[in-house]
Amino acid sequence: MSELTMVQAVNDGLKSIMREDDTVLLMGEDVGPKGGVFLATEGLTAEFGEERCFDTPLSEDGIVGVGIGLALNGMKPVCEIQFQDFIFPAFDQIVSEAAKMRYRSGGQYTVPMVVRTPYGGGIRGGLYHSQSGEAYFAHTPGLKVVIPSTPYDAKGLLISSILDPDPVLFMEPKALYRAFREEVPEGVYTVDLSTVREVVPGDAAVIYCWGAMVPVATEAARRIKETRQQDVRVVDLRTLMPLDEDAVLQAARECGRVVVLQEAPRFCGYASEISALLAEHAVESLEAPVRRVTGFDTPFPNTLENYYLPDARRVMDAVEQVLDF
Amino acid sequence: MSTARPIRVSDPGTFPLRRVLREDGRGVLKSAAQEHLPGRDKLLEIYRAMLTTRVLDQRLLKLQRQGRVAFVGLATGQEAAIHGSGAVFEPQDWVFSALREGGIALQRGMPMAEYIAHMFGNAEDSAKGRQMPNHFQCRAVNFPSWSSVLGTQLPHAVGAAAAMQRRGEPHVCAAYSGDGATSSNGFHSALNMAAVMRAPVVFVVIDNGWAISVPSSKQTAAASYGTKARAYGMPGVDVDGNDALASYQAVAEAAARARDRGGPTLVCLRSYRIGGHSSSDDPTRYRDDGEVEHWEKRDPIQRMQAYLKSTGLYQEADCEHWQSDIEAAVSAAVRHAAEVGPPPLESLAEDVYAEPPLHLRRQVVEALRIAAEKGAADAVAGEFPL
């Protein structure tokens, strides 16, 4: 057991599973000797060689397309897309090919592949190093979408994703890469896909969140406790597709007041899906309208990034509204 | 090597084409290279496969006109390119196909009944009726599933080949596309990455002159499709795709190079699409009948038959009966397929994931309840436009 940051936990997860399973391969831009722009693959080419951790041309659709071919033929590729903002050239391969292969082949051909990609704001990256595109992908049947928020979960969910028989988009909140350390077990362990994690207990209201918004929600819950002596539950969804719908509904029924928090723009975002789920199946338990706290419906700005990103202040405001309704 | 006349209005220009057979098929050109030519068994395999594809085209088009099959992508006129090249690949090689190479799956041993079941999209279709017709796959003969998004299968071939390479296997991947797909992202990224990785891939472009209604002259300003290889750092060759022997030879040479760890090759087999893009397309709206007539006179099956007759193989193998044998096999498969019903409603949510997640299981329960209470779904009225 050692104290690791999230990016170290990702690295440790990759290393641990590669030591046990020689069909696991890493590929992407700068993942080789440089170890990736965030150092998530540092030291892996040195340990496993260029056959198993290799640099590719600057070709996102090629990276994912070749990854699909490797997966069709017995490998477990982990493709890195350097920033999630660069994933769109590969959108076709992810959405039309990887996600549909099992279905369109009646189960004859499958794609056990992971696409890892750092996402989200908070690093002064402007329009093209900051986006949160989870909704585009969670909308795609056949694809799983996983977003960790802690070092422990990052390693365990990543290993589960690599061992999963279906393609997984593994989105890493880069704002949390080095935000804090926690104890991470050595070697291979898994965290179940499709389970939520209760971060803070409470029953006055519930905040659903994921990725880099989890610490923001936690801070908002702490301030509400301080100012109003009310316990607000924080639930980290972790696996956006498939979603643990029953756990989400249960928390809403227990708390009766709901805020959904996301970094992405609001319109047609994943928070809207949670709101619709609650409207369809838990409306009788709701004591206030569901509030969404989100990025603005604008491209991701640069200088005003801190106003674009939801912070504890904005989350508190929404929680107060549902509590006072 | 001889120079082609500009006999397609669709050609970007004139360029040298590699040939083996005389145009009339009666023998081999004196200038032709002798290496990598098909032997007796391969020649007969190629001819039989070519005939099978022609018979299927004719039969399936009739079924489509009768409304019994929704869509057919025809290969008429391209049989030499398809089956001459297809004969090269060994059982353990993989073949990534596009729209018109389904016959290669049969050539590799896919059962006719399975092929026809897919055209009907019935309960015996290995794809469970999920793809449009003419999207063949057959795992037993290493023939993966392709999508209608052209060019996307090409990087898959590179990845599957890279897996062979990593395991030290002596196998190769065939990556087929048409001329239109040479403009796609997948073509570019696949050729670039295959060359960088020295992956054992043979890229086979079957250039039939037309991408639906867009001629090759509007597809590229390159002198030929084969010349595109040069910029990727791999060999490229333009071949007379109506010459089954030349198609076999060029692809065999490329496959041998790939097995020998010499990396990928681009082989362009120049042919002609005699029919429309598909059963729904009317090519008289955009191309000249004269061009079609010119190519009808250069039928690759007639040319191959003339060659086999000139060598005596046609008589020796009793090829005269093959056409009726194939027609009988197709008819039997069609009769059977017509009696098989559609896949069950429950199958709608299978194979989205290895295990159906909770939300999908609930959606199926809902669909079954509505079907039980309200009856069968309304029929779909629309027709496929191309």
Whether A190 is covered by a domain: the verdict is no
Q: List all residues of chain A from 143 to 182 with a beta carbon under 8 Å from chain B.
A: 144, 164-166
Whether A261 is covered by a domain: the verdict is yes
pLDDT of residue B1: 40
Joined tokens for residue B129: 């009726």
Joined tokens for residue A53: 């951790």
For residue A97, give how far its alpha carbon lies from the nearest alpha carbon of chain B (Å).
7
Residues B128-155: tens digit of each pLDDT: 999 999 999 999 999 999 999 999 999 9
Whether A191 is covered by a domain: the verdict is no
Q: Cβ distance B248 to B42 under 8 Å? A: yes
Chain A residues close to B189, C-beta within 8 Å:
57, 59, 61-62, 65-66
Instruction: Mark yes or no for CB contact A142/B353 under 8 Å.
Output: yes
Question: Is any Cβ of chain B less than 8 angstroms from the Cβ of A102?
Answer: yes
Q: What is the DSSP letter of A322?
A: H
Given B273, B287, B298, B303, the catalytic residue: B273
Q: Which residues sit opposite B175 in a β-bridge?
A: B96, B203
Whether A283 is covered by a domain: the verdict is yes
B132: left (phi over 0), alpha (psi -120 to 50) or beta: beta
Joined tokens for residue B373: 């209470």
The 10 Å Cβ neighbour count of residue B221 is: 8
State whether A112 and A16 are in the same domain.
yes
pLDDT of residue B320: 94
State whether A28 and A85 are in the same domain.
yes
**Could you say which of A75, A92, A104 has the minimum Cβ distance to residue B130?**
A104
CATH of the domain at A65: 3.40.50.970
Span B314-336, mean pLDDT? 97
Chain B residues close to A242, C-beta within 8 Å:
353, 357-360
pLDDT of residue B97: 98
Using N-to-C axis directions, what is the helix angle for B322-339 and B112-120, rounded to 10°? 50
Helix (H, G, I), strand (E, B) or coil at B138: strand
**Known catalytic residue: B353?**
no
Span B228-256, mean pLDDT? 97
Q: What is the DSSP letter of B379?
A: P
**Known catalytic residue: B68?**
no
Q: Could you tell me where the DSSP H helices lie in chain A?
A: 6-20, 44-48, 60-72, 91-92, 101-104, 134-138, 151-163, 213-228, 245-255, 270-281, 305-308, 312-324
State whether A201 and A180 are in the same domain.
no
For residue B351, give how far its alpha carbon lies from the nearest alpha carbon of chain A (Å).
5
State whether A53 and A91 are in the same domain.
yes
State whether A244 and A291 are in the same domain.
yes
Cα distance between residue B370 and residue A66, in whole Å: 42
Cα distance between residue B321 and residue B256, in whole Å: 34
**Could you say which of A57, A110, A246 has the minimum Cβ distance to residue B193?**
A57
Span A45-50, mean pLDDT? 98
Q: Cβ distance B176 to B98 under 8 Å? A: yes
Percentage of chain B exceeding pLDDT 70: 96
Structural domain of A126:
2-184
State whether A204 and A142 are in the same domain.
no
pLDDT of residue B190: 98
Q: B385 pLDDT band (50/70/90 cuts)?
A: confident
Question: Is any Cβ of chain B less than 8 angstroms from the Cβ of A104?
Answer: yes
Cα distance between residue A316 and residue B158, in whole Å: 51
Cα distance between residue A234 and residue A203, in whole Å: 10
pLDDT of residue B10: 56
State whether A121 and A53 are in the same domain.
yes
**Known catalytic residue: A139?**
no
Q: B11 pLDDT band (50/70/90 cuts)?
A: low
**Could you say which of A69, A102, A103 has the minimum Cβ distance to residue B159?**
A69
Whether A165 is covered by a domain: the verdict is yes
Q: A315 pLDDT band (50/70/90 cuts)?
A: very high
Domain boundary, last residue among A131, A150, A184: A184
Percentage of chain A exceeding pLDDT 90: 99
For residue A10, give how far its alpha carbon lies from the nearest alpha carbon of chain B (Å).
24
Span A50-66, mean pLDDT? 98
Closest residue, chain B, to A56 (C-alpha): B193
Give which of B92, B185, B232, B355 to mutate to test A binding, by max A Cβ within 10 Å. Answer: B185
Helix (H, G, I), strand (E, B) or coil at B178: strand
**Could you say which of B159, B173, B197 has the minimum Cβ distance to residue A65?**
B159
User: What's chain B's average pLDDT?
Assistant: 94
User: What's chain A's average pLDDT?
Assistant: 98
**Could you say which of A61, A70, A101 has the minimum Cβ distance to residue B145?**
A101
Instruction: Mark yes or no for CB contact A67/B159 under 8 Å.
Output: yes
Using N-to-C axis directions, what is the helix angle for A60-72 and B153-166, rounded to 10°? 60
Span B82-106, mean pLDDT? 98
Whether A225 is covered by a domain: the verdict is yes
State whether A32 and A170 are in the same domain.
yes
Q: B5 pLDDT band (50/70/90 cuts)?
A: very low
State whether A229 and A302 are in the same domain.
yes
Burial environment of residue A37 by CB neighbours within 10 A (0 to 12, 13 to 18, 19 or more): middle
A179 or B288: which leads in pLDDT: A179
Cα distance between residue B243 and residue B37, in whole Å: 12
A311 or B289: which leads in pLDDT: A311
Chain B residues close to A75, C-beta within 8 Å:
159, 163, 166
Residue B58: enclosing H or E segment and its boundaries?
helix B40-65
**Could you say which of A56, A72, A242 has the minimum Cβ distance to residue B358?**
A242
Instruction: Mark yes or no for CB contact B357/A107 under 8 Å.
Output: no
State whether A109 and A212 are in the same domain.
no
How many domains does the structure of chain A reveal?
2
Cα distance between residue A320 and residue A224, in whole Å: 8
Q: What is the DSSP letter of A27?
A: E
Name the pTM for this structure.
0.97
Domain boundary, last residue among A184, A216, A245: A184
The 10 Å Cβ neighbour count of residue B71 is: 18
Helix (H, G, I), strand (E, B) or coil at B254: helix
Chain B residues close to A71, C-beta within 8 Å:
159
Span B221-239, mean pLDDT? 95
Residue B115: enclosing H or E segment and its boundaries?
helix B112-120
CATH of the domain at A274: 3.40.50.920
Span A292-305, mean pLDDT? 97
Whether A189 is covered by a domain: the verdict is no
CB pairs under 8 A between A and B: 147
State whether A81 and A50 are in the same domain.
yes
Instruction: Mark yes or no for CB contact A109/B144 under 8 Å.
Output: yes
Domain boundary, last residue among A161, A184, A207: A184
Q: B6 pLDDT band (50/70/90 cuts)?
A: very low
Residue B221 Cα to chain centre, angstroms:
25
Instruction: Mark yes or no for CB contact A70/B137 under 8 Å.
Output: no
Residues B185-225: tens digit of each pLDDT: 999 999 999 999 999 999 999 999 999 999 988 999 998 99
Whether A192 is covered by a domain: the verdict is no
Residues B160-169: tens digit of each pLDDT: 999 999 999 9
Closest residue, chain B, to A76 (C-alpha): B163
pLDDT of residue A145: 98
pLDDT of residue A68: 98
Task: Compute CA distances B327 → B48, B62, B136, whole Å.
Answer: 12, 13, 20
State whether A111 and A227 are in the same domain.
no
Given A76, A102, A129, A144, the catalytic residue: A129
Question: Is any Cβ of chain B less than 8 angstroms from the Cβ of A112?
Answer: no
Instruction: Mark yes or no for CB contact B351/A102 under 8 Å.
Output: yes
Residues B97-126: tens digit of each pLDDT: 999 999 999 999 999 999 999 999 999 999
Joined tokens for residue B54: 């022609």
**Could you say which of A96, A106, A142 has the minimum Cβ distance to residue B147?**
A96
Closest residue, chain B, to A72 (C-alpha): B160
Q: Which residue has the tokens 């639930």?
A: A235
Instruction: Mark yes or no for CB contact A144/B144 under 8 Å.
Output: no
pLDDT of residue B199: 98
